[in-house]
Amino acid sequence: MLRRRERADTAPELSAFIAELAELRRRSTALRGGSYRTLYLDHQIIAFERVTYEERIIVVVSSLGEQTTISLIVESHSSAAEDMFRPGTFFPVKGDVLELSPPAYGSMVLSLDKGSGV
């Protein structure tokens, strides 16, 4: 059986990604305990939102082997969603629709400005 340190060394990229996810969760009240709503679901992609009074977070996970575009109804007063993995990178919200292209076998975590509340 591998010890914890040996296991971490066999997949450093995965360990770093998990640490980044843990840090995002630590900083986010919505990810820790917000209400949950599924925004998109098929056999290879899931998108959901977690919402608190302070913030609205969207999580997208794809097991699809290629990049594709999905449209999400976000019911938000925000004009853009910010990529929490790449601060300063924004995706426009047009009306209540957010179009995203999650990476192949990848994920996205986005923050929507709460604006005028839940």
Report pLDDT digits (tens) over 94-112: 999 999 999 999 999 999 9
How many domains does the chain divide into? 1
pLDDT given at position 53: 92
* Cα–Cα distance, 10 to 87 (Å, whole number): 29
Question: pTM for the whole thing?
Answer: 0.83
Say if 44 falls within a structural domain.
Answer: yes
* Cα–Cα distance, 72 to 70 (Å, whole number): 7
Q: Give me the mean pLDDT over the 47-59 stretch.
A: 95
Say if 66 falls within a structural domain.
Answer: yes
Task: Quickly count: other Cβ atoms within 10 Å of residue 23's Cβ.
Answer: 11
Say if 64 falls within a structural domain.
Answer: yes
Kindly report the CATH number assigned to the domain that includes residue 55. 2.60.40.1180
Say if 118 falls within a structural domain.
Answer: no
Say if 11 falls within a structural domain.
Answer: yes
Q: Is 29 helix (H, G, I), strand (E, B) or coil?
A: helix
Say if 117 falls within a structural domain.
Answer: no
72 is in which domain, residue-wise? Answer: 4-112
* Cα–Cα distance, 4 to 18 (Å, whole number): 14
Whether the predicted pLDDT of 9 surpasses 70: no
* Cα–Cα distance, 112 to 44 (Å, whole number): 24
Residue 118 pLDDT level (bands cut at 50, 70, 90)? very low
Say if 82 falls within a structural domain.
Answer: yes
